[in-house]
């Protein structure tokens, strides 16, 4: 297994809609294993393929850190079939490090896709799992959590994040 580089905002691949996975082969299985390792090492609860530079409809989700009874999920070519309710909660993103914001999302979702063996699967989820699923599927659609903000909050974020990146670059150069 290998640790992969997580693409950071404003990398252009994060804004592009991904292509369906056509063939689940040994290369896909290796990618899945590498994504799981990368997500865990980054202390994330989800990772979409485009976050590591691969424009395919593939994501991994593991919320077991917070909800032990939920197993790791590998989801290929996911589709949200149904959404109900609304809730607000704080979210972060591995592609937008150091930033958390409150996002309003449907409370429950029903999703269809394929597992890593290519078998159809359905997931009905609420709470953190529903939020994580929607967040990763957003990535596959070319959406970031900042795209879910109001225009005013988004502009404020962009200014703050630009400053944050400049400070990080300064610290990197000085060290």
| Token pair of 83 as six digits | 């959404």
Per-residue pLDDT at 173 exceeds 70:
no
Query: Chain-wide mean pLDDT for the chain?
Result: 93
Q: pLDDT (tens digit, 9 = 90+) per residue, 44-56? A: 999 999 999 999 9
Q: Is 136 a catalytic residue?
A: yes
pLDDT score, position 174: 46
Per-residue pLDDT at 166 exceeds 90:
no
Confidence of residue 147 (pLDDT cuts 50, 70, 90): very high
Question: Could you identify the residue written with the tokens 């077991």?
Answer: 64
CB–CB of 59/46 below 8 Å? yes
pLDDT score, position 172: 65
Q: What does the pLDDT average to over 109-132? A: 97
**Residue 148: its H or E element:** none
The full set of domains in the chain, from first to last, is: 12-174 (3.90.45.10)
Classify residue 30 by its DSSP letter.
Answer: H
Output the pTM of the full model: 0.91
* Region of residue 53 (left: phi > 0; alpha: psi -120 to 50; beta: else): left
- Whether the CA torsion 3, 91, 64, 111 is positive or negative: it is negative
Q: Using a pLDDT cut of 90, give the percent of the chain over it.
A: 78
Catalytic, out of 136, 155, 167, 171? 136
């Amino acid at each position: 297994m290998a640790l992969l580089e997580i693409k950071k905002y404003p990398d252009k691949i994060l804004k592009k809609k991904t292509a369906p996975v056509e063939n689940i082969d040994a290369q896909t299985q290796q990618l899945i294993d590498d994504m799981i390792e990368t997500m865990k090492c980054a202390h994330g609860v989800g990772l979409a393929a485009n976050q590591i530079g691969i424009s395919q409809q593939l994501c991994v989700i593991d919320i077991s850190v917070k909800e032990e009874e939920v197993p790791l999920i590998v989801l290929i070519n996911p589709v949200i079939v149904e959404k109900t309710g609304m809730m607000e909660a704080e979210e972060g993103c591995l592609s937008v490090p150091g930033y958390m914001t409150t996002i309003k999302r449907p409370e429950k979702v029903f999703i269809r896709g394929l597992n890593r063996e290519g078998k159809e699967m359905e997931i009905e989820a609420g709470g953190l799992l529903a939020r994580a699923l929607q967040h990763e599927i957003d990535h596959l659609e070319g959406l970031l959590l900042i795209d879910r903000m109001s225009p005013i909050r988004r502009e404020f974020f962009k200014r703050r994040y630009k400053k944050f990146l400049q400070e990080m670059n300064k610290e990197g150069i000085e060290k």
